[in-house]
A and B are shown apart, each in its own frame.
Chain A
Amino acid sequence: MSDTQKRLADTLPFMSATEVSALVTSKEVSAREVAHTMLDRIKQLDGDIHAYNEVTPELALAAADNLDKRIAEGATAEELGKLAGAPVAFKDNMNLVGTHTTCSSKMLEGFQSPYDCTAVRRLLDAHTLPLGKLNMDEFAFGSSTETSATGLTHNPWDHKRVPGGSSGGSAAAVSAGMATITLGSDTGGSIRQPAAFTGTVGLKPSYGRVSRYGCVAFASSLDQIGPFSHTVRDSALALGAIAGKDPLDATSMNVPAEDYFASCNQGVEGMRVAVATDLLEQEGLDPRLKKEVLDSAELLAGMGAEVVEITLPSTKYGLPAYYVLGPAEASSNMARFDGIRYGHRAENAEDILDLYMRSRSEGFGDETIRRIMIGTYVLSSGHYDSYYMQAQKVRTVIRDDYKAVFAQADVLLTPSTPVLPFKFGEFADDPTAMYLSDYYTIPVNMAGIAGMSLPTRLIDGLPASVQLVANHFRETDLFRAGAALESSFAFPYDSVPAGQA
């Protein structure tokens, strides 16, 4: 390995997208070298971490060669954009032609993507290099990536701990420097909780901001695609690339993307930051994570923001309502897996009913079956009013609570999770105990607003974090406050033990 190659191998994994694109567009390093360096790193590290379900060297190198050709032909840095040459990867529920889309389920083993997911396509159109597809909880049902049928993903900060979930692979890949930006999906916290557990920046955009076309649906009134990155600015660039109306997803709203990158430089002077005092007294919240919220509020105040104290009493009803609405919508979405058009098919079926029943039971894992069962029950005749309708009303209460908050504040500061990353198997006996790790993230999905988890400091070698929440289509506020906090904390994301020489 030459000195230049060695230097690249040492520095590239924790570079920001802007740094990578500057190197590539100035021809200091070719996109091909970037791709090779990252593919080598994945080869070297991913055996222990297992962030990737599939690595795609051909696609990465083809995109790199394409970009190098454009640059050789005289395309400027300005034309190519700040993401040009950035190595990216995608949660394995997003379709990309030339890859499999398995949702980490036996049900979709070998499924070939027939078309491209819009968000994936848009990120690749920004001249990024696709490295592969990432592990997740089966069909995104879980908070630790332990329900994956392809094996456990290990937290790069401590291999005995989970990376969070369901987008655990997307989080671990960025955290271990095996991608600069990845995409995940967030239904109840599946981007922000794993971001919190791995010391990465995770953004759940407003409902309707990003098209979900080509992303396998979990709960259609809650799902949203968003990026993982090391830095807030990379998150801003990624959102800028994937946001906007898509005729192929009727729920994507016709609201133009803004210059999120510029928001990062705006500062917080005059911003109103809400702190929910009742949320900080919640039983089960690690006092050290409470301190991160209070310290963050103080830092923002020191930079010119105004801190207001509020309460969000409906938060504790978010989880129970979510565990009605999520499974209800999921049970309906999962009905498409019938062993006929795609997916696992049972052998020697006697008739169509036998085919349905055995194909589904053989293809789905335990947590998927549990969620389908709950969803089917709460939607069934005689129970609809007491569960589903009730949960829809709770949703109104949550939404009204946030409306009141955003009448007085621009952003809300809360913990991302009540706990630091937990160990494998810690909640094996009680499914509801693990659900609590999404306590602070779920209400944000219920209200359809935007949230970001941001790493703060290391506590006993594990990443701590805070969550910023903003009103519908006010992601610019998240980037303003997020960038300001990031510069104060200077989280040491490049000191992750995985892959240190």
Chain B
Amino acid sequence: MALTQAEVREIGLIARLNLEDGAIEGLQEELNQILTYVEHMQELDLEGVAPTAYSTDFTDSLRDDVRVPSLPREAVLMNAPESKEGAFLVPRIKALGIEDSREDTAGGGS
């Protein structure tokens, strides 16, 4: 099942990647190469085989319900591209096509 260029664009959108027009064809070819290779799996008869998500016999490991210190706020924010007053700054969020008309929203961004 070969991927079309439209599908490559669609996956790019889902993955939140801004793919240049010039890159689509190359990616299409490479992704199809990989998917063709992966098809070898289908040779195996896997009828009735249960899937394995974790390789070890993993059991939930719960910690004691005690409060422990978390990272200090400075450490959390020190790598933020933009922050202000102890918070991350993000651009305005347009929801459902309804544009926020206020000029100065919190976290107006760049």
A-side residues, CB < 8 A to B, are 111-112, 114-115, 206-208, 221, 247, 250-251, 253-254, 314, 316-317, 319-321, 323-324, 331, 335, 338-345, 347-358, 360-361, 364, 369-370, 372-374, 376-377, 380, 386-387, 389-397, 399, 430-432, 435, 445-449, 472
Main secondary structure of the interface of A (DSSP, over half): helix
B-side residues, CB < 8 A to A, are 3, 7-8, 11-20, 27, 30-31, 33-35, 37-44, 46, 49-56, 58, 60-61, 63, 71, 75-76, 78-82, 88, 90-94, 109-110
Checking B3, B14, B15, B41 against A391 with a beta-carbon cut-off of 8 angstroms, the contacting residue is B41
Assess the B78–A351 pair: CB atoms within 8 A. Answer: no
**Between A and B, how many residue pairs show CB distances below 8 Å?**
175
**Min CB gap B110→A, angstroms:** 6
Contacts of A349 in B (CB 8 A): 91, 109-110
Query: A448–B53 Cα gap in the complex (Å)?
Result: 11
Assess the B56–A115 pair: CB atoms within 8 A. Answer: no
Checking B3, B54, B78, B93 against A114 with a beta-carbon cut-off of 8 angstroms, the contacting residue is B78
Q: Given known contacts A340-B90, A351-B93, A358-B18, is B30 in contact with A370 (CB within 8 Å)?
A: yes
Q: Whose C-beta in chain B lies nearest to the C-beta of A396?
A: B52
Assess the A112–B79 pair: CB atoms within 8 A. Answer: yes
Contacts of A355 in B (CB 8 A): 90-91, 109
Query: A345–B82 Cα gap in the complex (Å)?
Result: 9
- Ranked 9 nearest A-B pairs via Cβ: A448-B55, A392-B51, A345-B81, A342-B79, A357-B18, A361-B18, A114-B75, A376-B15, A395-B52
Assess the B18–A399 pair: CB atoms within 8 A. Answer: no
**Known pairs A319-B37, A320-B38, A376-B14. 5 more at Cβ < 8 A?**
A250-B61, A316-B40, A323-B34, A357-B18, A397-B44
Q: Given known contacts A343-B79, A395-B51, A397-B49, is B17 in contact with A432 (CB within 8 Å)?
A: no
Assess the A323–B38 pair: CB atoms within 8 A. Answer: yes
Checking B13, B15, B41 against A372 with a beta-carbon cut-off of 8 angstroms, the contacting residue is B15
Query: A360–B15 Cα gap in the complex (Å)?
Result: 9
Q: Whose C-beta in chain A lies nearest to the C-beta of B89?
A: A340
Assess the A393–B92 pair: CB atoms within 8 A. Answer: no
Checking A356, A370, A390, A392 against B53 with a beta-carbon cut-off of 8 angstroms, the contacting residue is A392
Q: Given known contacts A111-B79, A317-B41, A393-B49, is B34 in contact with A432 (CB within 8 Å)?
A: yes
Q: Whose C-beta in chain B lies nearest to the C-beta of A339?
A: B81
> What are 10 A-B contacts with C-beta separation under 8 Å?
A114-B71, A344-B81, A352-B93, A355-B109, A357-B16, A373-B12, A373-B17, A395-B51, A396-B49, A432-B37
**Min CB gap B100→A, angstroms:** 10
Query: A373–B18 Cα gap in the complex (Å)?
Result: 12
Contacts of B90 in A (CB 8 A): 340, 352, 355
Assess the B17–A372 pair: CB atoms within 8 A. Answer: yes
Assess the A392–B33 pair: CB atoms within 8 A. Answer: no
Indicate the member of B3, B8, B30 with the most A CB atoms within 10 Å. B30
**Min CB gap B10→A, angstroms:** 9
Assess the B55–A351 pair: CB atoms within 8 A. Answer: no
Assess the A352–B91 pair: CB atoms within 8 A. Answer: yes
Assess the B80–A342 pair: CB atoms within 8 A. Answer: yes
Query: A377–B3 Cα gap in the complex (Å)?
Result: 10
Contacts of B19 in A (CB 8 A): 361, 369
Query: A344–B14 Cα gap in the complex (Å)?
Result: 20
Contacts of A358 in B (CB 8 A): 18
Query: A432–B31 Cα gap in the complex (Å)?
Result: 10
